[in-house]
Amino acid sequence: MDHPQDRAETSACATTHDATDGNAANGKVQTGQNAISAHNLQKHYRGEHGQPPKHALKGIDLEIPRGSIFGLLGPNGAGKSTFINILAGLVIKSSGQVSIWGFDIDRNPRQARASIGVVPQELNIDPFFTPAEILELQAGMYGVPKAQRRTADILAAMGLSDKADAYTRTLSGGMRRRLLVAKAMVHAPPILVLDEPTAGVDVELRQQLWDYVRDLHRQGTTIVLTTHYLEEAEELCDQIAIINHGEVAACEPTPQLLSRIDEKILLVRPDSPIEGLAAELSEFQAELKPDGQIAIAYRPSETSVEEILARLRAHAIAIRDLTTVESDLEDIFLQLTRERA
């Protein structure tokens, strides 16, 4: 997948402790090239109905570079939605500091909220309004002058022009999902947060949505994405943070994160069928598959492919074809979340 040249080249996941310059008068935090900066962000929920208190966020440190597509992953209940709701102004943080596009959310809440558009998981759209009316109302709430509103353009970009004047209760689930994206973009925010945007969406619509997101990104919009489709995050994101139990388990550029697991599988197809594997191959965790292939798990840092091939040849196993299987994001996700379970 091609990445625009203006994307951030280095990881900026953990905040630096000198992010502020003391300019508290106007509430603006100088965060360099960061779209979102969170330092020691915590959220406590009081226990209700006999339930114990919940520590939803335990000192989150994150810096999301401007111009990036940033993945925010984690299992259900990890704290992702709490983090996003704090950004959106829907949840009040317990402590810590957050800035959005350089504006501290406590000192400049209006400017901070105007800098971000959030597409929620829930399809919370008034069924008695039309898409055009919803976008006009949302633009008015953000103080966008009528002459500067782009209702028709946004609906066209989301493939909803022919539904502009239809009641939203008549729209399909996929159309409502696209309308949520359109609603988040009425004030042209520099940051767009997509919280599980393709949940329950068919493959074709998912691809259309990502094409639009890529177009927004090419135009300079910073994208923050949460998704349970790990292959999407692997393909789309420059950097990925994995949150588990309210803490950042990992936060790295995507290629670096994918290289964390030092394990590969070599699939070897013998030139002729073999009955079983020699005991000498057991050190490689070799397994004879039902389709006749030999699966050999190995660590590249300890063993080279040539060593494995030499051992196969030593046992008179002629090779017709071979393939290596890399670790993917799902492997890393499961490893990191299990480690902190």
Amino acid at 253: P
What is the predicted pLDDT for the residue at 328? Answer: 63
With beta carbons less than 8 A apart as the criterion, state whether 50 and 2 touch. Answer: no
Whole-angstrom Cα distance, residue 12 to residue 63? 5
Average pLDDT over residues 15-21: 36
Q: Which residue has the higher pLDDT, 280 or 94?
A: 94
Angle (CA) 340-79-141 rounded to 5° is 165
Judged against a pLDDT cut of 90, whether residue 129 lies above it is answered with yes
Mean pLDDT of the chain: 82
Which range is least confidently modeled, 23-27, 285-289, 302-306, 336-340?
Answer: 23-27
Full strand arrangement of the beta sheet holding 319-325: 286-288, 294-298, 264-270, 319-325
42 by Cβ neighbours in 10 Å (0-12 / 13-18 / 19+) ranks as middle
Judged against a pLDDT cut of 70, whether residue 282 lies above it is answered with no
| Interacting residues of 144 by C-beta distance below 8 A, sequence separation 6+ | 186, 187
- Residue 143 dihedral angles phi and psi, to the nearest 5°: 75, 25
Helix axis angle, 203-218 relative to 173-184, nearest 10°?
10
Judged against a pLDDT cut of 50, whether residue 10 lies above it is answered with no
Length of the chain: 341
Instruction: Report if pTM > 0.75.
Output: no
DSSP-derived 3-state class of residue 340 = coil
Judged against a pLDDT cut of 70, whether residue 3 lies above it is answered with no
Judged against a pLDDT cut of 80, whether residue 195 lies above it is answered with yes
What is the predicted pLDDT for the residue at 8? Answer: 39
Average pLDDT over residues 244-259: 87
**Furthest-apart CA atoms within the chain: distance in Å:** 78
Judged against a pLDDT cut of 60, whether residue 25 lies above it is answered with no
Tell me the domains of the chain and their CATH numbers. 34-258 (3.40.50.300), 264-327 (3.30.70)
pLDDT in tens, 26-44: 333 344 579 999 999 999 9
| Interacting residues of 217 by C-beta distance below 8 A, sequence separation 6+ | 4, 69, 223
As given in the structure block, the two tokens for residue 151 are 């209702």
What is the predicted pLDDT for the residue at 162? Answer: 95
